[in-house]
Amino acid sequence: MKTIMITGTSSGYGLETARHFLERGWRVIATMRTPRQDVLPRSEQLRVLALDVTDARSIAAAVDAAGPVDVLVNNAGIGAFGAFEATPMQTTREIFETNTFGTMAVTQAFVPGFRQRRSGVIVNVTSSATLAAFPLVAPYTASKTAVQGFTASLALELRPFNVRVRLIEPGYGPETRFTENGGARMQGLITEPYAAYAQDVFAQFAQATSVTHASDVADAVWQAANDTSQRLHYPAGADALALAAGG
């Protein structure tokens, strides 16, 4: 029986991915900053661990508690909608700390085990914002684009050790808690000069008919975890697939 560890499983894509793999008989290690058992079905194959991807001690403790895993999914992330002009640099750094450096730190902690066993899969979840330009998400897009480059390079670096590295690129997911999770970080980021433009942008997103569902991302992670080829990119969702195809 294989084991998968997923970061950021309290909601959205991470939660659905954990459910997806549990239903298919995998051992699942679901991590979140504040562990909650009630969001996932009870199962002998499930472990819920505390993990703050921005805290080195938390990462080390999670690695020790998890033991060997076959697949690591770096899904934990935060975001913010807003004009870059109005975004404090501290907020931009906070986004990078979780999305970019958090992904890199967790990956680095698990690489020795994968390398020594000469097997394993690392799956990094980014965004369709890396496939096409979107307004009002400049720091978020930058943080995810950095992960794209990191992942592509790491895939080559770990290939001699039979460790596969993947990218999941979800599209726009209205059923996620992206905006809700932004919380105070997003307050004041739409200043008056940008208000009318932002209203138009939000209206376009609200009318979108081609979107990404959490199940699309879970399916893509499943495919990436079980694909033995050297494929790197896995767009997830109808809109992401269209962007990846140049549509």
Contact (CB, 8 A) for 50 and 37: no
Q: Which residues, in sequence order, are CB contacts of 82 under 8 Å at separation 6+?
A: 136, 186, 188, 189, 190
Contact (CB, 8 A) for 3 and 29: yes
Catalytic residue among 140, 172, 194, 234: 140
pLDDT of residue 177: 56
Residue at token pair 């079980």: 226
pLDDT of residue 246: 84
Which stretch of 81-85, 121-125, 190-194 has the lowest confidence by average pLDDT? 190-194
**Rounded average pLDDT over 105-130:** 98
**Rounded average pLDDT over 150-173:** 97
Q: Which residues, in sequence order, are CB contacts of 16 under 8 Å at separation 6+?
A: 214, 215, 217, 218
| pLDDT of residue 71 exceeding 60 | yes
| pLDDT of residue 159 exceeding 90 | yes
Contact (CB, 8 A) for 76 and 57: no
Q: Which position has the higher pLDDT, 119 or 173?
A: 119
pLDDT tens profile 210-235: 889 999 999 999 999 999 999 999 99
Q: Strands (DSSP E) along 58-162, which ranges?
A: 71-74, 121-125
pLDDT tens profile 50-70: 999 999 999 999 999 999 999
Which stretch of 7-11, 103-107, 170-174 has the lowest confidence by average pLDDT? 170-174
pLDDT of residue 185: 52
> What does pLDDT average to over the chain?
93
For the chain, the domains span: 3-244
pLDDT of residue 192: 81
Whole-angstrom distance, CA of residue 90 vs CA of residue 106: 22
| pLDDT of residue 247 exceeding 70 | no
Q: Is 140 a catalytic residue?
A: yes
Distance of CA 106 to the CA centre of its chain: 12
Residues facing residue 48 across a β-bridge: 30
Under CATH, what is the fold of the domain 3-244?
A: Rossmann fold (3.40.50)
Residue at token pair 């978020």: 140
pLDDT of residue 186: 58
